[in-house]
Amino acid sequence: MSDNKIGMGHGAGGEVMSNLIAETILNNITKKSVNNGISLDALDDGATIPIGDYEIVITTDGHTINPLFFPGGDIGKISAAGTINDVSVMGAKPLAITNAMIIREGFPIEDLEKIIKSMDETCREVDVAIVTGDTKVMEYDKIDEIVIVTTGIGIAKKGEVIKDSSLNIGDKIIVTGTLGDHGMSLMSFREGIDFETDLQSDVAPVWNMIQEAVEMKAITAMKDPTRGGFANAINEMAQKSGVGVLLDQEKIPIKEEVHAASEMLGIDPFEVANEGKVVMGVKSDLADEVLEIIKKSEYGSDAAIIGEVIEGNHVLIETPVGGQRILESPIADPVPRVC
């Protein structure tokens, strides 16, 4: 791919995409925030607009997943959960989403109905409304099946929004479940690899799982590790916060099937997307309590404290034999079109 054209890597959630965003997009936009809220420049999971005693949290996401229906979900579920989760990890109660769909001529109405029902079911789980939308159709050879763009809107009390850049030294790092499920299951499904146990996407709305911890004011920073995976999310949090992180490899939950798939496909489970997980920094004196709360929730049974925030500027992983290695951000998500 020549240097002056878009390549697949430009949409893959790694360094290549970050450079495109910084140089071509952010540089050419002049007004990036309202009322001193969190701006586009923060590149957080969402932005905020402070109004009175509250902050409106807003985020948007386009979905181009292939295939549309996959083990554990479909494009409707992921389109709803994607923006609901980005609002949720800002510490805001998700209220509503919008739904813009660009559909290919000839697309089965039956499939569209399945997608909408799935979207609705996902929203109902966390009491989110679908309040507005748009429907466009393109010629058969101009678009691949369907593209869905959703915008998520939530609300938080002023000053209580949780950023991804506010880890403090001594905080514990919690992940709310096993890593790599979405990207690895999608890739296995596409490649036609069969496992004895069903490997499924983890796509789900996370608000019910984290709400209580948010209200306890125990969380210092958080992100959903989607494109670019856990490696991207934890590095972004550490870099933006100006701290290091030390992780214990043995404590990081990964399913057996994900390990197996990752070896077979040569893909690092830390670098692929999760769609129903949260990575958070938690005040150390509240970490055990937060872990217990998350473990009791529907999607949090595999949650674990996996490390802590330290001085420094690297994310380090302690290996079972006692060595340490640096966990780098991926150049790009190794699996394209995962969300």
- Contact status: 271 vs Mg ion (CB under 5 A): no
**Residue number, 85 or 185, with CB nearest to Mg ion:** 85
**Residue number, 45 or 55, with CB nearest to Mg ion:** 45
Buried (b) or exposed (e) across 92-105, using 16+ Cβ within 10 A?
bbbbbbbbbbbbbe
Instruction: Report in angstroms the alpha-carbon separations of 109 from 104, 114, 197, 265.
Output: 11, 9, 32, 35
- Contact status: 308 vs Mg ion (CB under 5 A): no
**Residue number, 85 or 99, with CB nearest to Mg ion:** 85
CB 204 within 8 A of CB 81: yes
Dihedral angle, C-alpha 181, 187, 190, 194, nearest 10 ° = -60
- Contact status: 275 vs Mg ion (CB under 5 A): no
Cβ 335 to Mg ion shortest distance, Å: 17
- Contact status: 86 vs Mg ion (CB under 5 A): yes
Among 224, 236, 257, 275, binds Mg ion (CB under 5 A): 224
Cβ 174 to Mg ion shortest distance, Å: 16
**Residue number, 86 or 308, with CB nearest to Mg ion:** 86
Which tokens is 266 given? 């040569």
Strands, E assignment, the chain: 47-51, 54-63, 69-70, 73-74, 93-104, 129-138, 146-157, 172-175, 219-223, 244-248, 279-282, 304-310, 315-318, 324-326
**Residue number, 16 or 246, with CB nearest to Mg ion:** 16
**Residue number, 239 or 284, with CB nearest to Mg ion:** 239
**Residue number, 237 or 304, with CB nearest to Mg ion:** 237
Binding to Mg ion, residues 229-248 (CB under 5 A): none
Chain residue whose CB lies nearest Mg ion:
45
The span of 3-11, 60-68, 83-91, 274-282 binding Mg ion (CB under 5 A) equals: 83-91
- Contact status: 74 vs Mg ion (CB under 5 A): no
The closest of 164, 8, 175 to 86, measured between CA atoms, is 164
Dihedral angle, C-alpha 179, 182, 188, 189, nearest 10 ° = 160
Cβ 226 to Mg ion shortest distance, Å: 5
The span of 92-100, 203-211, 221-229, 286-294 binding Mg ion (CB under 5 A) equals: 221-229
Number of CB atoms found within 10 A of residue 268's CB: 17
Binding to Mg ion, residues 44-63 (CB under 5 A): 45
- Calpha distance 182→9 (Å, rounded): 19
| # of chain residues touching Mg ion (CB under 5 A) | 3
Q: Which residue has the tokens 């850049």?
A: 165
Binding site for Mg ion (CB under 5 A): 45, 86, 224
